[in-house]
Amino acid sequence: MDRLTGKTALVTGGSRGIGKGIALRLAREGALTAVHYGSNEQAAKETVAEIEAAGGQAFAVGAELGVPGDAAALWAAFDAALAERGAAPGVDILVNNAGIGLLSQVHEVTEADYDQVFAINVKAPFFIVQQGLDRLRDGGRVINVSSGVARIALTTTIAYSMTKGALNVFTHTLAQQLGGRGITVNAVAPGIVATDMNPHLDDPAQRAEWGSMSVFNRVGEPADIADAVAFLASDDGRWVTGQVLDATGGSHLGV
């Protein structure tokens, strides 16, 4: 499929895990895809190489998130990379995927942990959008990677879950604001996905146990989430906005 030919996409945290799956998928649909990374330039370059080997177009963009000035640095790197390629400025599809987990109950969360998880998971997407408003093309897409835990009471991820709840509110409120420009704003909320965020899934017994939460009896893979993102990014998703789309393999149905 080439639903995104002629579009430019930016995927934060696109060098590994779910973000890599999204970057590969959007590029496969024809989008010129910016693969953002924090510190692992090598991983981003490998993702770019994988996209190019498959006939797609991509480039890497580095910027540490969760630090002062992160959004400005990200956009400066993005603008420079586009100019270097001779590509038109602007972005059609912005995917706020980068995020960190925090496995702590309420009495365990330190102030530093709290500040960091909110800085990366909430503040960074907020200011990336704010400072990207002039770059976002009319008819474009903002897609936030949320989490199914925002709407279940998982005590071991309380602060992390709160960040995704904030992202959900950001999503529907921004959808109201940007609709006049034909821009849709949605979130995709994965259930548990086999990525570096969940090293415990390397243990087959744990993997089976977590997989049993899904009605399909397996854990999610990055491609499962990427396909949902591709739908929202494409013209097929033009009438869907302000939504948080559960991509949990039905694991939210049991709670």
Does residue 140 sit in helix, strand or coil? strand
Q: Is 38 in the site for ligand NAD (CB under 6 A)?
A: yes
Q: Which of residues 80-139 bind ligand NAD (CB under 6 A)?
A: 97-100, 120
Q: Give the tokens for residue 66.
A: 């969760």
Q: Give the tokens for residue 115.
A: 């500040």
Name every residue whose Cβ is closer than 8 Å to that of residue 185 and which is 6 or more positions away in sequence: 141, 142, 143, 144, 171, 172, 174, 175, 178, 241, 242
Nearest Cα neighbor of 93 from 129, 122, 117 is 129
Q: Is 233 in the site for ligand NAD (CB under 6 A)?
A: no
Q: Which of residues 146-165 bind ligand NAD (CB under 6 A)?
A: 147
Q: Using alpha carbons, list the distances in angstroms from residue 248 to 25, 228, 245.
A: 18, 11, 9
Q: How far is CA 228 from the centre of its chain?
A: 11
Q: Is 198 in the site for ligand NAD (CB under 6 A)?
A: yes
Distance CA 14, CA 45 (A): 10
Q: Is 74 in the site for ligand NAD (CB under 6 A)?
A: no
Please identify which of the residues 160, 198, 213, 232 carries the catalytic annotation: 160
Contact (Cβ atoms closer than 8 angstroms) between residue 49 and residue 56: no
The size of the interface with ligand NAD (CB under 6 A), counted in residues, is 25
For residues 146 and 234, which CB has a smaller minimum distance to ligand NAD in the complex? 146
Distance CA 66, CA 69 (A): 9
Contact (Cβ atoms closer than 8 angstroms) between residue 27 and residue 21: no
- The DSSP 8-state label assigned to residue 157 in this structure reads B
Q: Is 193 in the site for ligand NAD (CB under 6 A)?
A: yes
The stretch among 78-86, 103-111, 193-201, 231-239 that binds ligand NAD (CB under 6 A) is: 193-201
Q: Residue from 30, 140, 190, 237 that binds ligand NAD (CB under 6 A)?
A: 190
Closest approach of ligand NAD to the CB of residue 63, in Å:
7
One character per residue 40-69, x = contact with ligand NAD (rule: CB under 6 A): ------------------------xxx---
Overall size of the chain counted in residues: 255
Q: Is 249 in the site for ligand NAD (CB under 6 A)?
A: no
114 counts as catalytic: no
Residues marked active site are found at: 160
Which residues of the shown chain bind ligand NAD in the complex (CB under 6 A)? 13, 15-19, 37-38, 64-66, 97-100, 120, 145, 147, 190, 192-193, 195-198
